Amino acid sequence: MSIAIEEVITKLTNFVYCFQIKRASGEELNLTNSDHAINSEERVFLPKSSLDLKEAEFNDSAQNHIIIEGIFEENGYYTAVKLYSAKSF
């Protein structure tokens, strides 16, 4: 990871992520760690997921590995939803 990107990720407190997640069941989740919904390209990202990007590794063969962590907020996506083995797209 470049120094500039690492600095942005570690030092900015108002960095907002939008996650497109496909669960193993096929359910698609559009979530953001923002406190309000975000509209982007005809897609609505639901707020208050409290998810954050912890680690990401990308390679040319599309064997990407992403670790997402978070504390689920009240009124956010409920904790019973398992994201294990989900796919981002």
Tell me the sheet residues that pair with 68.
53
Average pLDDT (36-59) is 81
Average pLDDT (42-61) is 80
How many whole angstroms separate alpha carbon 50 and alpha carbon 70?
A: 5
Residue 53: both structure tokens together = 């990007």
Could you tell me the pLDDT band of residue 72, with boundaries at 50, 70 and 90? low
Could you tell me the pLDDT band of residue 11, with boundaries at 50, 70 and 90? low
What rounded mean pLDDT belongs to the chain?
72
pTM, two decimals, is 0.56
DSSP classification of residue 46 = B
CB 19, CB 68: distance < 8 Å: yes
